[in-house]
Structure 1
């Protein structure tokens, strides 16, 4: 998962990396390497902006993320009781 480390970002700033921000977490992924990293994008200090977790994009992972998105949608749509 070295594609997503702070050192790799400095050495290869033009590498195949895309980012999607969700709240205060950034999902960084590489289609070429089929890897991803979760980063705390609102961290106060640069040393805390390193990946919290890295991994390979595995078959079926999109279904798990869709399930999470559906849960979030239900929570957002709930009326305050």
Structure 2
């Protein structure tokens, strides 16, 4: 079973960038976004909030990438001769 590491309260910067916070959490946001593991509710509220933001960013980016790919396919398909 995958062990979710706990961070000490001062491990994640309060006003850090998303990249800094992602580094602190490691691959945890990606694993949650992929549905590999459940969202850890045993964390402190500040950690859960930062983690939720990172998971949301990954899911949003995945959706944007998917939509862009579908639009590109539709554009290319419209240009093909019948």
TM class, shorter-length: 0.3 to 0.5
TM-score by length of 1: 0.33
Structure of higher CA gyration radius: 2
Higher strand share: 1
